[in-house]
């Protein structure tokens, strides 16, 4: 039964609009949430055109409006189209063909948008990878990228100069042997005119202080020198993107025909279960998501300024912010290097209408001195996903917004990379505190038993059902890349549903409330998904460790969640031979730094040494009370200097009841 048939039954009184049991009691069949949506919108067919054409059609007459802002350099939609065409010519000149996969090691800069749409015009697949090194040892990071290049059949590479030095230079000879001869190199300064460069310097000085400002200037000089030296010695042809644009003006190309299931983008998960898992998304997937945003009452109006913080390598970034934002005619303010501590400063400077992020970023604005007395009436949509926020924190943020003359409340949703990001959304009358809203207009949520995977049904005595979320959506990835299946699916009434591992409650109106993750997953301050059981496995493989449980805590330094390792040693006598710092350092070195399957973002930022783990009455680990258990021996703080494109030193601080000792690792 489709959406319109269900709505007709609602009008005939065969389904109660107020949320009674309905036809079957199964929410994935009855879809009680449809009563919140406009019937005329539900009649509209999903778009059948290229992502480039879809963006242009929605921006007819909008050519003079700003599409991208980059440190004060404003690129209009008309200029964006010209830049996309130039980018397509550059890719064509390098022999990029239909279905060729291009690896991108790029932050949020204008060139990333140009090449995203430019490649799509000739049928190329944009394969986005986290541009940050994944290990303190750059050779380890480079080897991981090499394995991904082989596995995902990459034919071309585009990299920021800094990312090239960190992750491509160490594997150049192997790339040459594979037949990859050309690397397109961009710079963060490519789209900076003199005004933008001055704005960048002023922003760095204002946001990060004099010492960081000086250090950045030194690093930029070093990067420039290292790149010029590498370019002279490289066995590959390093192509300057800006120069290539001027040299390829006479190149011609033909737009590829529209094929709905043509692979358009590959994004990646956090890689918390080994190598990052690829998420292949088609042209149809991308446009189907944006189509739903129009029916879901999202306030994304032409000319609205959007803080473009979420990265392209995450599905939320490329689908929900970049493509959706440009289709809606928004002005995407490019943020290539983001620190959550600077969110208040960014809001004060750019006065965006739309801010999309994770819960910890948005709760942090209440403590921002820059916003303490500021009028925030310019904000239209402040929304979060990727993790849950409790009702108390949500109300505190909403109170803060009201006190600062803001007419909007927090909106939020639920989703996963496998469905292009957002699958449900909470606004208007279905924006219940701490809820995740209702399924998007063309998306279906089922609630299934976690063990049997059988759908759960409302009965006469239940207003709420609880279970695992399963999702069916036109945005859902096929779950298959080059014949390799990676999705957990079930069949419900002839449709594929993706199992999420998220446990939730749904009421009879279809409004969802997140309860927990079956595997205790939580989100780090930067959006990285931390899967505790994987980190526990790595740490317990160390010969000195008997037990390890990973918990989360709010880290004031980064203003977000970080992992704690609660450790019981194999033998308490070890501390007579080794210090806690030595044990901690050995675990970090062996389990993370020298482990090619690990990410540096999995390194716990606290190590707590316990004599034993707390247990429940049934003798199981009491996860709820571990965080409140005092450490018996000492606590180690681990600080890994990092940004969204850089990884620095590890610093260890030992706490022994008030004393702090510091040791550094270069």
pLDDT for residue 216: 80
CA–CA separation, 574 vs 571, rounded Å?
6
Give residue 20's pLDDT. Answer: 46
Model confidence at 357: pLDDT above 70: yes
What pLDDT does 664 receive? 42
* Residues 19-68: tens digit of each pLDDT: 444 579 999 999 999 999 999 999 999 999 999 999 999 999 999 999 99
Tens of pLDDT, residues 478-527: 988 998 888 889 999 999 999 998 999 999 999 999 888 777 888 888 87
pLDDT of residue 491: 94
pLDDT higher for 123 or 1?
Answer: 123
- Do the domains spanning 51-288 and 522-665 agree at the CATH topology level? no
pLDDT of residue 17: 41
pLDDT value of residue 616: 62
Note the pLDDT of residue 646. 54
Name which of 89-103, 163-177, 215-229, 441-455 the model is least confident about. 215-229
C-alpha distance from residue 556 to each of 192, 344, 398, 508, 560 (Å): 33, 15, 21, 39, 7
**pLDDT in the model for residue 98:** 95
Six token digits for residue 486? 């990676």
324-354 residue pLDDT tens: 999 999 999 999 988 888 999 999 999 999 9
Q: Which tens digit of pLDDT belongs to each residue from 533-585?
A: 889 989 989 988 988 999 988 888 888 889 999 998 887 677 777 788 888 88
Mean pLDDT (the chain) is 88
Report pTM: 0.82
Range 522-665: architecture per CATH: 2-Layer Sandwich (3.30)
Candidate ranges 310-319, 384-393, 625-634; pick with highest mean pLDDT: 310-319
Q: What angle do CA 613, 615, 617 make, to 5 degrees?
A: 170
Paired sense of beta strands 305-308 and 331-334, if any: parallel
Average pLDDT over residues 577-597: 85
16-25 pLDDT per residue, tens: 544 444 579 9
Helix ranges (DSSP H) in 268-390: 283-295, 315, 324-327, 343-350, 359-364
> What is the reported pLDDT for 666?
36
Alpha-carbon gap, residue 241 to 49, rounded angstroms: 28
| pLDDT over 60 (residue 632) | no
Rounded to 5 degrees, φ, ψ at 443 are -115, 145
Give me the pLDDT at residue 252, please: 96
Q: How far is CA 257 from CA 91, 118, 236, 254, 423, in A?
A: 18, 14, 33, 9, 29
Query: Minimum mean pLDDT among 105-109, 389-393, 519-523, 657-661: which range?
Result: 657-661
Residue 455 is classified by DSSP as B
Domain spanning 51-288: CATH superfamily: ANL, N-terminal domain (3.40.50.12780)
Nearest to 465 by CA among 28, 61, 128, 35: 28
In the predicted model, is pLDDT for residue 624 greater than 80? no
Per-residue pLDDT, 665: 39
228 or 292: which carries more pLDDT confidence? 292
- Give the per-residue pLDDT at 133: 79
Binning pLDDT at 50, 70 and 90, where does residue 138 land?
confident
Q: Give the CA angle between residues 399, 401, 405 to the nearest 5°.
A: 115
Tell me the domain boundaries of the chain. Answer: 51-288, 522-665
């Amino acid at each position: 039964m489709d959406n319109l048939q269900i709505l007709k039954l609602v009008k005939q009184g065969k389904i109660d609009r107020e949320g009674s049991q309905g036809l079957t009691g199964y929410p994935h069949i009855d879809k009680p949430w449809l009563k919140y949506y406009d019937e005329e919108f539900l009649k509209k067919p999903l778009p059948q055109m290229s992502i480039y054409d879809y963006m242009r059609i929605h921006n007819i007459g909008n050519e003079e409006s700003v599409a991208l802002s980059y440190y004060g350099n404003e690129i209009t939609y008309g200029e964006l189209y010209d830049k996309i065409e130039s980018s397509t010519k550059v890719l064509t000149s390098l022999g990029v063909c239909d279905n060729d996969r291009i690896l991108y090691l790029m932050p949020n800069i204008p060139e990333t948008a140009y090449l995203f749409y430019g490649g799509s015009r000739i049928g190329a697949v944009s394969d986005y990878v986290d541009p940050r090194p994944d290990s303190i040892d750059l050779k380890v990071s480079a080897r991981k990228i090499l394995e991904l290049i082989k596995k995902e059949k990459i034919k071309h590479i585009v990299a920021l100069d800094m990312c090239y030095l960190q992750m491509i230079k160490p594997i150049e000879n192997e790339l040459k042997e594979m037949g990859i001869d050309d690397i397109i190199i961009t710079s963060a300064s490519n789209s900076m005119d003199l005004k933008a460069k001055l704005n960048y310097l002023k922003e760095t000085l204002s946001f990060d202080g004099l010492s960081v400002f000086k250090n950045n200037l030194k690093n930029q000089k070093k990067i420039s020198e290292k790149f010029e030296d590498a370019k002279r010695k490289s066995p590959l042809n390093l192509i300057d993107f800006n120069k290539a644009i001027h040299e390829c003006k006479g190149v011609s190309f033909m737009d590829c025909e529209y094929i709905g299931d043509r692979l358009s983008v590959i994004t990646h998960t956090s890689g918390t279960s080994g190598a990052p898992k690829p998420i292949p998304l088609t042209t149809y997937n991308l446009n189907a998501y944006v189509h739903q945003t129009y029916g879901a009452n999202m306030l994304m109006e032409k000319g609205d300024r959007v803080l473009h913080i979420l990265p392209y390598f995450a599905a939320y970034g490329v689908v929900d912010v970049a493509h959706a934002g440009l289709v809606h005619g928004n002005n995407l303010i490019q943020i290539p290097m983001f620190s959550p501590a600077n969110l208040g400063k960014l809001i004060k400077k750019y006065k965006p209408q739309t801010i999309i992020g994770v819960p910890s970023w948005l709760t942090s604005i209440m403590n921002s001195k820059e916003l303490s007395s500021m009028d925030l009436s310019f904000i239209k949509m402040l929304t979060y996903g990727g993790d849950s926020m409790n009702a108390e924190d949500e109300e505190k943020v909403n109170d803060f917004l009201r006190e600062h003359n803001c007419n909007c409340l927090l909106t939020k949703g639920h989703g996963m990379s496998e469905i292009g990001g957002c699958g449900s959304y909470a606004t208007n009358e279905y924006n219940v505190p701490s809820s995740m809203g209702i399924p998007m207009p063309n998306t279906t949520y089922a609630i299934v038993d976690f063990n049997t995977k059988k759908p759960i049904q409302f009965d006469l005595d239940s207003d709420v059902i609880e279970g695992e979320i399963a999702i069916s959506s036109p945005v859902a990835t096929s779950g298959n890349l080059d014949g390799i299946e990676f999705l957990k699916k079930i069949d419900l009434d002839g449709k594929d549903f993706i199992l999420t591992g998220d446990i939730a409650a749904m009421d009879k109106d279809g409004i969802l409330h997140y309860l927990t993750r079956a595997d205790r997953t939580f989100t780090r301050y930067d959006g990285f998904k931390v899967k505790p059981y994987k980190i526990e496995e790595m740490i317990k493989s160390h010969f000195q460790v008997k037990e390890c449980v990973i918990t989360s805590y709010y880290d004031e330094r980064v203003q977000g969640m970080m992992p704690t390792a609660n450790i019981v040693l194999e033998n308490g006598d070890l501390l007579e031979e080794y210090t806690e710092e030595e044990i901690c350092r050995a675990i970090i070195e062996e389990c993370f730094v020298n482990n090619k399957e690990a990410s540096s973002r999995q390194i716990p930022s606290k190590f707590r040494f316990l004599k034993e783990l707390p247990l429940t009455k049934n003798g199981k680990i009491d996860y709820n009370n571990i965080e409140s258990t005092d450490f018996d021996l000492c606590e180690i703080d681990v600080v890994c200097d990092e940004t969204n494109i850089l990884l620095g030193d590890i610093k260890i601080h030992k706490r022994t009841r008030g004393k702090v000792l510091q040791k550094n690792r270069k």
